[in-house]
Amino acid sequence: MAKGNELVVSAIQVTAVDGEIEATHEKVSRLLDRAGERGSDLVVLPEVWTGLAYSESELYRETAETIPGPSTDLLAAKAEEYGMYVVGSIYERSNDAFYNSSPLIDPQGSIVGKYLKTHLFDAPDRVDIKGGIRESDKVKAGSELPVFDTSIGKIGVSVCSDLRFPEVYRVLRLKGAQIIVCASAFLSPRFDHWEFFLRARAAENQAFVVASGQYGTEPKSGIGFVGRSMVVDPWGVVIATAPDTECCITTMIDLDFIEEICRRYPLMDQRRPSLYGIIDEEGR
């Protein structure tokens, strides 16, 4: 567990099979035990870790849950058992709407808050995905970028395709995030994009990034995922990477290193916001 500003962080990667939520719960439960036994302070799960539901057009409706619900109850029990924070995304059903939602659960098993994915993966013309993908056909986009002030530091949450939008990470950092998690189902074969985006987001914002991904080929849809969950430090150095298997990776980070990196190169102090007005859509 945490000593001063040192934290133990873990990332879990699995292949979630469409429609097999009970089996996925059992698998994730075992890996959460592994993370907890290692003394993890924070555990990150992949994007829609209960199943992406790509194999059938309406399967996401059956996969979706309320929050709280069975999947968050599982995470809450493990978070309380081991005294750790747990975060990862699932399909959330809220009234008549669906979201790609990432609840953050604290060591008491309570839901601190949740992040609703803001940049949905709409890629209808991807040649490597039969029929393409339009996430916006399933879920609504969120409209907020919250940072959660926790007992282990300030945590920002992102999901998969958010990674391609540097503005998301910059806003989270400007709001004080020291750790930015990325729950992902990043599509193969784009390992090169996955790694350099994570390293860039960490280095340009001088924050730790803890990223977890779906791994392997989902057998019912035939869609493949990069996996390679990783932890990146504020200098852009990869300090832990998952092998090509379902697993839990664990490493230690020291939040004091953020201050040291900012001392070496005070990027945030050297920003010139007056030059960046075009980034604001309303200012175009």
Catalytic residue among 114, 160, 195, 246: 160
Write the single-letter amino acid at 97. Answer: A
End-to-end Cα separation, the chain, in angstroms: 47
Structure tokens at 260: 């040291």
Contact (Cβ atoms closer than 8 angstroms) between residue 160 and residue 186:
yes
As a whole number of angstroms, the distance between CA 204 and CA 127 comes to: 31
**82: enclosing H helix or E strand:** helix 70-82
List the alpha helices (DSSP H) in the chain.
21-37, 59-63, 70-82, 166-174, 191-205, 256-264, 267-270
Q: What φ, ψ does residue 198 adopt, rounded to 5°? A: -60, -45
Catalytic residue among 78, 114, 117, 154: 117
For residue 117, indicate whether it is catalytic: yes
Considering only CA atoms, which of 219, 224, 265 is closest in space to residue 244? 224
Strand order in the sheet with 147-150: 147-150, 153-159, 179-184, 208-213, 230-232, 238-241
DSSP 221: T
For residue 262, indicate whether it is catalytic: no
As a whole number of angstroms, the distance between CA 155 and CA 86 comes to: 11
For residue 80, indicate whether it is catalytic: no
Structure tokens at 151: 């007992």
- 133-134 and 90-94 strand pairing: unpaired
As a whole number of angstroms, the distance between CA 253 and CA 265 comes to: 20
Contact (Cβ atoms closer than 8 angstroms) between residue 116 and residue 94:
no
Residue 133 β-bridge partners: 123
Catalytic residue among 47, 92, 195, 246: 47
Which residues are catalytically annotated? 47, 117, 160
